[in-house]
């Protein structure tokens, strides 16, 4: 495209995230959206509402997302000549992706890059966010040239930042005990059927895990993989689940554990409840010490990764 095409509206940068309730009153609507097409029983609603109550009555995800977006935009704008404008769209709560797309059209955006704040691609996650962009364009009868970031699970900044978290977790134990510390790397489970469908999610997670373990200098027997946070549906989900995995490790005499979720990029309910409360309870039962270093949040290495993958997509549009 010629430079004249770029005059006028800035280039849009659409950041997408899962979305989270801003209060407990939002829970029925939020869950109805996540579990679209399936009935949410009162028992499931009560259980999940109670999880959110225990982490402060709302999701910290929108706030972390805004902070990540602000930090990334500062870095990206410093690297890119064209004026940029950031937009935030959530998959399961407001601000909705479709509304962000409408706002972009109202602003006259004709070119944009889009990224999901989740490093691993799946037809059940990243692809669904991208479909919502297309739905937003189609319901508003608009067109924007989009470049999509599909995944960034092997980027060096992301890998190094998580390897640093692993080391930080191990260093929380007294020096003489560190050789006995076992590291559990984990990510959100998905239904087992994704494997038959050729979905890359599980392979990408394992690739990230191997890179992170190597960058942290872990021995092969010093770390293992586990899924967490499986949904409440009757079909089989990828395992082992964190709880059963901890029982297994305990059976092998492992009593010092560092838990580093690699598929989430900020501290939200799947970490603050599923690990910091539920897995800590399991650890206490098993006489295990479990250390969970903070998620990436606005770690400069991670923000640098987001800026780099976006910069490459901006270049592809120019």
Chain positions contacting ligand L6N33NVT, by CB under 6 A: 18, 20, 31, 34-35, 38, 48, 118, 122, 124-125, 188, 190, 231-233, 263-264, 268-270
Indicate whether 266 belongs to the interface with Fe ion (CB under 5 A). Answer: no
151 among annotated binding-site residues = no
Question: Which of 136/263 has CB closer to Fe ion?
Answer: 263
| CB closer to ligand L6N33NVT out of 19 and 111 | 19
Question: 3-state secondary structure string, the chain?
Answer: CCHHHHCCCCEEEEEEECCCCCCHHHHHHHHHHHCCCCCCCHHHHHHHHHHHHHCCCCCCHHHHHHHHHHHHHHHHHHHCCCCEEEEEEECCCCCEHHHHHHHHHHCCCCEEEEEECCCCCCCCCHHHHHHHHHHHHHHCCCCCEEEECCCCCCCHHHHHHHHHHHHHHHHCCCHHHHHHCEEEEEEECCECHHHHCCCCHHHHHHHHHHHHHHHCCCCHHHEEEEEECCCCCCCCECCCEHHHHHHHHHHCCCCEEEEEECCCCCCCHHHHCHHHHHHHHHHHHHCCEEECCCCCCCCHHHHHHHHHHHHHHHHHHC
233 binds, among Fe ion, ligand L6N33NVT, none (CB under 5 to 8 A by kind): ligand L6N33NVT
Chain residue whose CB lies nearest ligand L6N33NVT? 231
Which range binds Fe ion by CB under 5 A, 21-29, 65-73, 189-197, 224-232?
Answer: 224-232
CB of 189 to Fe ion, least distance (A): 8
Judged by beta carbon, residue 18 or residue 223, the one nearer Fe ion is 18
Could you tell me the smallest distance in angstroms from the CB atom of residue 293 to ligand L6N33NVT? 18
Query: Known binder of ligand: residue 188?
Result: yes
From ligand L6N33NVT, Fe ion, none, interface partner of 125 (C-beta below 5 to 8 A by class): ligand L6N33NVT
Which residue has the CB atom at the shortest distance from Fe ion?
229
Tell which one of 160, 229, 241, 305 touches Fe ion (CB under 5 A).
Answer: 229
Shortest distance, position 318 Cβ to ligand L6N33NVT, whole Å:
31
Is the CB of 209 or the CB of 269 nearer to Fe ion?
269
- For residue 152, CA distances in Å to 111, 125, 205, 207 come to 21, 14, 11, 11
Q: Rounded distance, CA 207 to CA 246, Å?
A: 22
Query: In terms of CB distance, is 105 or 279 closer to ligand L6N33NVT?
Result: 279
Shortest CB 197 distance to Fe ion, Å: 18
In the bound state with ligand L6N33NVT, the residue whose beta carbon lies nearer, of 109 and 238, is 238
Q: Which residues are annotated as a binding site for Fe(2+)?
A: 188, 270
Give binding residues as ranges: 188, 270
Residues contributing to the site for Fe ion (CB under 5 A): 229
């Amino acid at each position: 495209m010629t430079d004249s095409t770029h005059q006028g509206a800035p280039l849009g940068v659409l950041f997408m995230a899962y979305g989270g309730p801003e209060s407990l009153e939002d829970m029925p609507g939020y869950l109805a959206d996540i579990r679209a097409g399936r009935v949410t029983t009162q028992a499931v609603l009560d259980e999940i509402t109670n999880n959110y109550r225990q982490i402060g009555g709302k999701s910290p995800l929108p706030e972390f997302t805004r902070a990540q977006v602000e930090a990334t935009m500062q870095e990206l704008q410093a690297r890119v000549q064209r004026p940029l404008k950031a937009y935030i769209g959530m998959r399961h709560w407001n601000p909705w992706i479709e509304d962000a797309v409408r706002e972009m059209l109202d602003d006259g955006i004709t070119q944009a890059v889009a990224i999901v704040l989740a490093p691993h691609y799946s037809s059940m996650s990243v692809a669904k966010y991208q479909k919502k962009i297309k739905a937003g364009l189609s319901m508003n009868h608009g067109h924007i040239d989009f470049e999509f970031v599909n995944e960034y699970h092997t980027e060096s900044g992301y890998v190094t930042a998580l390897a640093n978290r692993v080391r930080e977790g191990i260093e929380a134990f007294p020096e003489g005990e560190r050789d006995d510390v076992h590291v559990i790397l984990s990510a959100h489970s998905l239904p087992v059927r994704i494997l038959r469908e050729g979905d890359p999610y599980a392979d990408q997670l394992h690739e990230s895990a191997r890179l992170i373990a190597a960058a942290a200098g872990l021995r092969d027997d010093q770390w293992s993989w586990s899924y967490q946070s499986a949904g409440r549906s009757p079909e089989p989900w990828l395992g082992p689940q964190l709880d059963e995995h901890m029982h297994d490790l305990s059976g092998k005499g492992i009593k010092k554990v560092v838990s580093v979720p690699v598929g989430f990029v900020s501290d939200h309910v799947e970490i603050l409840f599923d690990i910091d409360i539920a897995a800590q309870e399991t650890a206490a039962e098993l006489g295990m010490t479990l250390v969970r270093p903070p998620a990436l949040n606005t770690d400069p290495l991670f923000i640098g990764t987001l800026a780099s993958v976006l910069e490459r997509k901006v270049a592809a549009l120019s």
